[in-house]
Structure 1
Amino acid sequence: MILLIDADSLIFASCYRKRENPDDDIYYKDIVEARHKFDEQYMKIVNDLEEKYTIDKVLTFSGSKGNFRKLITSKYKANRKKQVLPPLLDEMHQYVKTQYDSIYGYGIETDDIVARYWKQISDEVGRNEVMIVSIDKDYKQFNCLMYNYHFKHQEVLDISEEEAMFNFYSQMIEGDTADNVNYFKGKGKRFAEKYFVDCSTKYQYTRKLYELFKQKYKSKARQKYTECYHLLKLRTE
């Protein structure tokens, strides 16, 4: 098994310390402590999976810079502009790049790099021989094995082609609050389940979804559909 670990969320979490008292600082100020927390979380993930699988290789991904999606619309992740970032975040990204030889890119997100490697490796050795390790729901648009390491889940998902197709087209309706993508406010997963109930092929999903865009956006339906698609679709090439 080849593990593809999206480490961005782990890096972010490693900058936060457990508070003993309400007045304690929420961030680590000592880089050694942040590094230790990351190493500990990272190795726990690998060790937990080694109990169930024979791990042949682990590839780490983190710290990609720039994002072509912000050229599609200025609204993309605009909700994060005022977000206060942990003081050790940049140092931690550099640490992981150096110590774990993490893979990153420019002009795209870490998710896209992981998706590209997953597609290439799964095509070469089979989708059952590679696993994406992440808490990011965006990867559910792929027919993949995915390990969600969040303490409330800690489960391996075996996503079928049918599930992956529904997950992606459903997300185009549901949107992504974290990335400020929402073309149908007020419509969620339950609506998508009912709306796509008769869909089973890509053509059927596309046609049905485009009808929804036409109902709301009229003459701008094609533009809005294209925007939404490219904001949410991870790049595999």
Structure 2
Amino acid sequence: MIRWLLVTATLARRELASLFCSAVAYAVLAVFALATSLLFLADFQPGAAASLTPLFESVVWLLVFLAPALSMRLLSEEYARGTVERLATWPVSEAQVVVAKWAATVAFLAVLGTPLLAHAGVLEWFADPDPGPLFTGLAGLLAVASLYAAIGLAASAATASQAVAFLVAVLVICLLTFGLYFLADAGFVPPAVGAVMRAGNVNARFSGFARGLVDLQDAAYFAAGTTLALFAAVRLLESRRWA
């Protein structure tokens, strides 16, 4: 198990280094920094509550597009270049490859969130915010980013086209973020099914984190969703690797 983790960590470091050499990654970083700064300034008004909760909720929407933009190339690029066949000669499993690529993407998304710490510092300088929602909000964003990155990786594992991977990931994430909520309120959906759909809504699961409340059910939701998406990515990669 230790050797498995060490090999996976080595692969993750290499993948993270390649991300930092990608023009798309820096474009995502620039867009995120600019967007969060503008959103923070819009919320930072005299008389407004000293809280980053509105900003955190907006970041969830940014991640709907930014996480797939980062993850769309992870395996699609391997397929397009024909380098995925090399995996059969490597002493690593599909699970190690998938987990390493996912971990590198999550690590980059964590670096992406550093402007939020600067915004928190500005808020602390001018006001006296409750630190609880700040820490839980950041933890919640990391959980959301982990889920979205896993979904993006699964989409990337399904196709050699980065554009298709991006679109599929965005559609699935949009369904989880707000689509289920609207479907649950549709007249043709039975109440029991609607309740299940609302329970699967990402915004509903994140709202507790943003308010400073950590519910184990919400944490389990993100952990289960991430695990399921990674499992799908492993299976898809296996089908390609041995095709």
User: When the two structures are superposed, what TM-score results if normalisation uses the length of structure 1?
Assistant: 0.26
- Structure scoring higher RCO (CA < 8 A, sep ≥ 6) equals 2
**Higher strand residue share:** 1
